[in-house]
Amino acid sequence: MCGIAGWIESGSKMPDRVKTLSAMSETLERRGPDENGIYINGDTALIHRRLVVIDRENGKQPMSVRHKDVTYVIVYNGELYNTEALREELRADGFHFRGHSDTEVVLKAFIKYGEQCPEKLNGIFAFAVFNTRDRSLFLCRDKIGVKPLFYYEYKGGLIFGSEIKALLASGIVKPVLDEQGLNEIFFLGPARTPSCGVFKGVFELNPGECAFYRNGRLTRKTYFSIEAREHTDSEAETIEKTRYLLTDAIQRQLVSDVPMCMFLSGGLDSSIIVKTASLFHRENRLGRIHTYSVEYRDNQKYFQKSLFQPNADYEYIHMMVRSADTGHNEVILDNRLLADALYDSVEARDLPGYVDVDSSLLLFCREIKKDYTVALSGECADELFGGYPWYHNREILFEDCFPWSRSQDIRRFILRGGVLDRGEEYVRQRYLDTISLAPKLPSDSKLDSRMREMFFLNFYWFMQCLLERKDRCSMYSGLEVRVPFCDYRLVEYAYNMPWKLKAYGGREKGIVRKAFEDILPKEIAWRKKSPYPKTHNPVYFEECAKRVRRILQKKNALTELLDKKAVESIIDNPGSITQPWYGQLMKAPQILAYIIELDHWFDKYRIDICL
């Protein structure tokens, strides 16, 4: 993986902006600590920061190719999982290759297929290609949105980058929040509206989108979208195809020229990836695989069962380690350091995020990076295959709202009276906009129709929030994390699978359980869904409370928005929070942590509010 950025401005001289371009590049150093490069051509500049994973010598960027008197230049962030097949297709058409990097394959695929190129790609990526003849710029983001691509368009110019901080470093983009941005932060966060970059004027290509910048104008186009189709496979065929698609996705993603490991939580999703990888390594004599799990200091002492978290992970992790014969490492996180890492996780995202769920991943990835450069992880199975409780509780399922944030009461509670008085209306419209996009068939039952809406809600909101977390918190330490469940073929198949098959046996992710039950210990294959581990240690709440009390003594843009007495009541009576802020586990400690992140973000980014 890498970091990319670029700037095109009609009539400008980019050689005069080398210092600014270097500053933009430096903001992405953590994404690409191994190499860097800047390409300048008149009014255009392309920036690349590289994390070397495949073909060190022949994968250097920015990469240029001259074809039929036209020079094409690419900056690319990602991994392509059908590299060899596409390379052979291009070779048959007369293209030659100097190495085995996927960057060269993507560039030559663009030269051959133009804007149809992305349809050929199976992978996670964001890239830009500059055509020196017509001086056009092509931007593209992968089908599922695993890799980010932000941009800012202004009169006569366009700036883009893997992260918002690269845009801010240009000096053109300002850290301004208008009413929309504030509504995003206070009423939707840590999720955000598709394409919205929160800062005024900052946008992001959606999953499955590309764009051309020509003659001072950006034109966006959807090249991939989820479509409603009749599911014609039998139960047995559905089980078999689910297994084939996921197995193929995992095996495709085991290619790397640098050391690779696996995340292991003891849950269904990571266990499938670990066992499948272990079997593949054994069959191909590739050696033992290595796994990592995360836990919090003294968590066993303080763990409390709940509807959402019925049992702890550690016994299942060790069961899976024995089953897959992995070299296992356990990372134990200190609760005070977890609170300290909230600040770094804000700087990784450029936005307030998923608080300790972010900061724990950031610390976890930091430890893994000491020995590995690439990891595989089990994100996104829950969104695609109905893993969350809100898919299975009929009252919540048919409630006309975001199921992970059913009430804005706690969000309204912490704000002063009269602040963002249209916040609830804003959330409602975002919800309606999303469900209106879900394609359906006339034959869909009421349940299957709602499940299509739920799929879109989860795909464009909850899943994108988790993918953003995974990308920023891992790349902050220069660790590439691949997510096999995000293979677009699996996403398409899951969308059109009837609920009675998806929830095979009446269970969350039932079809996935059935498809892989023969290679997993029974206890894991049919284990009740358990979310990403959180800390139960009271030390963490105490740390957050102490820091929030200090924030409330300040007078700044944030505290002018907050109802201090309301926030203090959360500190004094954390058990009063019954509805989570977001998801399943964001209650009192996490609400306080979100305020800590907001405070750091307002200060660090020098946020200016413009209403």
Residues taking part in catalysis: 2
What is the per-residue DSSP string for 125-144?
A: EEEEEEETTTTEEEEEE-SS
- Buried b / exposed e over 303-339, threshold 16 CB at 10 Å, is beeeebbeebbbebbebbbebbebebeebebbbeebb
Q: Element (H or E) spanning 78, and its range?
A: strand 70-80
Distance between CA atoms of residues 331 and 210, nearest Å? 39
At 601, the amino acid letter reads: W
Cβ neighbors of 53 (< 8 A, separation 6 or more) are 1, 79, 256, 257, 258, 373, 374, 480
- What are 88's strand-pairing partners? none
Q: Element (H or E) spanning 268, and its range?
A: helix 268-283
Distance between CA atoms of residues 90 and 105, nearest Å? 8
At 43, the amino acid letter reads: D
How do beta strands 217-222 and 176-177 pair? Answer: unpaired
Distances in Å between the Cα of 568 and the Cα atoms of 283, 451, 532, 551 are 59, 40, 28, 11
Copy the structure tokens of residue 466.
């988790």
Distance between CA atoms of residues 515 and 356, nearest Å? 33
Look at residues 328, 326, 272, 327 and name the one whose alpha carbon lies nearest to residue 524: 272
Distance between CA atoms of residues 286 and 231, nearest Å? 38
Cβ neighbors of 441 (< 8 A, separation 6 or more) are 228, 229, 230
Copy the structure tokens of residue 238.
């559905």
What HEC string does 152-187 produce?
Answer: EEECCEEEEECCHHHHHCCCCCCCEECHHHHHHHHH
Distance between CA atoms of residues 374 and 475, nearest Å? 10
For residue 484, is the peptide bond before it cis, meaning its omega torsion is within 30 degrees of 0? no
- Buried b / exposed e over 30-50, threshold 16 CB at 10 Å, is bbbbeebbbbbbebbbbbbbb
- Please calculate the CA angle 271-277-282 and round it to the nearest 5 degrees: 125
Distance between CA atoms of residues 468 and 373, nearest Å? 19
